[in-house]
């Protein structure tokens, strides 16, 4: 929530707006936006794009927010909280889409939602390249939809704030889930992750020293586990050892190091990623075969195909399977298991973005000067503006560089 001081309002930013200090009267002069937040209808998606706190700030800035009834229910945000924040709550999905200039959601639009779009709307959501289709893109182009993929949005230093936050949650959650499975008498070894006096702790090997790996390692160390981390980048290993301390064991991603670490481990966290590519296959089946029975594998990389040979996609309803006596947890998008935390994290990015659009009196004015927001755009003015997406579907004729499109604006 904003803080009022002597007739002024202080707005905290998360990379898309500077810290602002403006008289409250001046805020009323901003361009009024109509923002719609539909209920997520994808299976197992419990997150919501804007929390009541974010809605309250947007309303304070003179914008109108329409929230579909029960949109926040799975994240424990009630309709009453949204109403008290100043939102209009409706059960009419069609009306929400038709009245809103901006549609803000978590998952990409479904086949049922696509026809509800109106001309020249702006849609902010995930893209999910693995499920993106030419039909989806053609629908956006036909209706002149500005599509913004929040996983492409950049803030200061070229960081991807939404990806960063979801990766942090996944890293912490992976250890929490591993601890539960390891102790489970049905699946695991029935042991405590951190050990106790006279009993050694569990051995955890983390494949990948990125954001997921770092937060998994930090959480595991905090719980008292014996932690090993493996990555192909020496610089990442140096940085993580410097940050987390000498008690963490590091090794370069080579077959013999990986084999020895995996076969000696009680838990293996797969967190190896390649930006824009399939995750590298790092842990082979013969390594898994030699793990102790009741050991646990959490393949966080399953979103990108998985980095462990024995992995296959599971769901939140049926999250585990056993192979070679080893428990495998391979649920894509682990962050959605913690919908309230994940919703707040995403809202902390999207709220300031929407405020910034209003501050600049429209999206087109903002993308002229903000390259980080411009990086999030994938359809604009009836063109695909990301070459990788256009090439992926053989739609090169529909590609235009967004810089050139902006230059033609009057």
Residue 224 to residues 168, 197, 218: CA-CA distances in angstroms? 19, 11, 10
Q: What is the mean pLDDT of the chain?
A: 89
pTM beyond 0.85: no
- For the stretch 71-121, pLDDT in tens is 999 999 999 999 999 999 999 999 999 999 999 999 999 999 999 999 999
Average pLDDT for 201-213: 96
φ, ψ dihedrals at 352, nearest 5°: -60, -30
With a cut of 80, say whether residue 386 has pLDDT above it. yes
317 φ, ψ to 5°? -75, -35
Q: Residue 157: its pLDDT value, please?
A: 60
How far apart are the C-alpha atoms of 289 and 263, rounded to whole Å? 8
Question: pLDDT digit string (tens) for 52-74?
Answer: 999 999 999 999 999 999 999 99
Which CATH entry fits the domain spanning 163-337: 3.40.50.720, 3.40.50.300, 3.10.20.30, 3.30.465.10? 3.40.50.720
pLDDT of residue 276: 60
Q: Which residues pair with 322 in a beta bridge?
A: 327
The pLDDT, as a whole number, for residue 185 is 84
List, in sequence order, the alpha helices (H) in 301-338. none
Tokens of 137: 């893109």
Cα–Cα nearest to 261, from 231, 293, 240? 231
What is residue 303's predicted lDDT score, i.e. its pLDDT?
85
- Range with the lowest mean pLDDT among 25-34, 190-199, 206-215, 378-387? 25-34
Q: Is the pLDDT of residue 208 over 90?
A: yes
Average pLDDT over residues 221-245: 93
Nearest Cα residue to 371 out of 60, 75, 152: 152
Q: Give the confidence band of 18 by pLDDT, cuts at 50, 70, 90.
A: very low
Residue 130, SS3 per DSSP = coil
Q: Look at 3-7, 43-47, 213-217 and tell me which has the smallest mean pLDDT.
A: 3-7
The yes-or-no verdict on residue 358 having pLDDT over 80 is yes
Least trusted range by pLDDT, from 1-15, 83-97, 208-222, 377-391: 1-15
Which residue in this structure is represented by tokens 């646990």?
296
24-28, 33-37, 157-161, 343-347, range with the lowest pLDDT: 24-28
pLDDT higher than threshold 70 for residue 8: no
What's the CA gap between 349 and 48, in Å, rounded?
Answer: 13
Task: Tell me the C-alpha distance between 130 and 128, whole Å.
Answer: 5
Distance between CA atoms of residues 312 and 306, nearest Å: 8
Domain ranges of the chain: 3-158+338-407, 163-337
CATH of domain 3-158+338-407: 3.40.50.720
Token couple for 342: 């994940």
Give the other-Cβ count within 10 Å of 321's Cβ. Answer: 15
pLDDT at 274: 81
Task: Write out the two tokens for 100.
Answer: 């809103």
Evaluate if residue 337 carries a pLDDT over 50. Answer: yes
What is the predicted pLDDT for the residue at 158?
61
Beta partners for 164? none
Question: Does the pLDDT of residue 262 top 50, yes or no?
Answer: yes
Same fold, 3-158+338-407 and 163-337: yes
pLDDT value at residue 10: 34
Question: What's the pLDDT at 52?
Answer: 98
Least confident residue range of 17-31, 134-148, 281-295: 17-31
Packing angle of the helix pair 339-359, 52-60 (nearest 10 deg)? 10
Answer yes or no: is pLDDT of 131 > 50.
Answer: yes
Does pLDDT of 3 surpass 60? no
pLDDT confidence of residue 43 = 81
Structure tokens at 271: 């967190």
Task: Identify which has the larger pLDDT, 26 or 357.
Answer: 357
Q: Which of 328, 257, 319 is nearest to 296 (CA)?
A: 328
In percent, the amount of the chain with pLDDT more than 70 equals: 90
Question: Which residue matches tokens 């390692």?
Answer: 217
Query: What DSSP designation does 7 have?
Result: T
- State the alpha helices, DSSP H only, in 223-284: 234-244, 255-263
Return d(Cα 34, Cα 44) in angstroms, integer: 28
User: How far apart, in whole angstroms, are the C-alpha atoms of residue 380 and residue 166?
Assistant: 26
pLDDT tens string 272-331: 988 767 789 999 999 999 999 999 999 999 988 899 999 999 999 899 999 999 999 999
Q: What is the pLDDT of residue 264?
A: 96
């Amino acid at each position: 929530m904003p803080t009022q001081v002597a007739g002024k309002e202080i707005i905290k930013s998360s990379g898309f707006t500077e810290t602002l200090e403006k008289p409250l009267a001046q805020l009323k002069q901003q361009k009024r936006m109509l923002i719609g937040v539909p209920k997520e209808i994808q299976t197992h998606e419990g997150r919501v794009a804007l929390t009541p706190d974010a809605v309250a700030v947007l309303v304070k800035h003179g914008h109108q927010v329409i929230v579909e009834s029960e949109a926040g229910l799975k994240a424990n945000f009630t309709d009453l909280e949204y109403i008290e924040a100043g939102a209009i709550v409706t059960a009419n999905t069609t009306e929400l889409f038709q009245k809103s200039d901006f549609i803000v959601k978590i998952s990409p639009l479904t086949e049922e939602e696509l026809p509800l779009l109106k001309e020249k709307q702006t849609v902010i959501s995930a893209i999910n390249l693995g499920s993106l289709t030419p039909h989806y893109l053609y629908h956006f182009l036909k209706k002149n939809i500005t599509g913004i993929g929040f996983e492409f949005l950049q803030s200061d230093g070229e960081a991807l704030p939404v990806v960063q936050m979801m990766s942090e949650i996944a890293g912490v959650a992976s250890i929490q889930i591993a601890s539960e499975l390891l102790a489970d008498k049905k699946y695991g070894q029935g042991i405590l992750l951190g050990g106790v006096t006279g009993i050694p702790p569990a051995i955890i090997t983390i494949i990948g020293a990125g954001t997921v790996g770092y937060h998994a390692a930090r959480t595991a160390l905090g719980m008292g586990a014996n932690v090993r981390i493996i990555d192909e980048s020496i610089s990442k290993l140096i940085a993580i050892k410097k940050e987390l301390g000498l008690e963490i064991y590091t090794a370069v991603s080579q077959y013999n190091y990986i084999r020895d670490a995996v076969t000696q481990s009680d838990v293996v966290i797969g967190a190896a990623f390649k930006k824009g590519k399939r995750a590298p296959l790092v842990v082979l089946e013969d390594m898994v075969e030699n793990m102790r029975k009741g050991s646990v594998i959490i393949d966080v990389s399953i979103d990108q195909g998985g980095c462990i040979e024995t992995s296959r996609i599971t769901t939140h309803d049926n999250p585990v399977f056993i192979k070679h006596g080893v428990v495998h947890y391979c649920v894509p998008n682990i962050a959605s298991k913690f919908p309230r935390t994940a919703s707040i994290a995403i809202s902390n990015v999207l709220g300031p973005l929407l405020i910034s659009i209003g501050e600049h009196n429209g999206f087109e004015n903002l993308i002229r000067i903000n390259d980080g927001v411009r990086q999030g755009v994938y359809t604009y003015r009836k063109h695909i503006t990301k070459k990788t997406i256009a090439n992926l579907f053989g739609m090169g004729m529909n590609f235009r560089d967004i810089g050139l499109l902006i230059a033609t604006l009057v």
